[in-house]
Amino acid sequence: MKPTHIEHIGIAVKDLNEAIPFFEKVYGLECYAVEEVADQKVKTAFFKVGDTKIELLESTDPEGPIGKFIEKKGEGIHHMAFAVENLAEKLTFAEEHGVRLIDKAPRKGAEGLNIGFLHPKSTFGVLTELCEDPNK
């Protein structure tokens, strides 16, 4: 599969208005984008750390995936995302190698990326997102 780099680490938070200032003041990071992804029922905030990003995820619906995650597990690391080329091929490759897919085909994610998730039951308990920049 050979990812090019860790694209981002997703962290579920209850309130972006509390979390953003913490990341800015304590870690000295700058929030460069806040975006709502309506079909995923989430509002995101992004920070750069070298070539990797931190994505804070606030649920916009308690029944959405982040709302359910926080209800069950509390705030914390939600997923790890790898940057890949040819995302559709990578999803097929993963499935052919016994990985359970959440997304069998790429879909739109935050920051204009195409994304696909691998089920954590197939990835040693880590929800894994594959991301492709369609502009590259």
φ and ψ of 28, to 5 deg: 70, 25
Q: What confidence score (pLDDT) does residue 58 get?
A: 98
Average pLDDT, the chain: 97
Round to whole Å and give the CA distance between 69 and 59.
9
pTM of the model: 0.94
Question: Is the pLDDT assigned to residue 136 strictly greater than 90?
Answer: no
Q: What confidence score (pLDDT) does residue 95 get?
A: 97
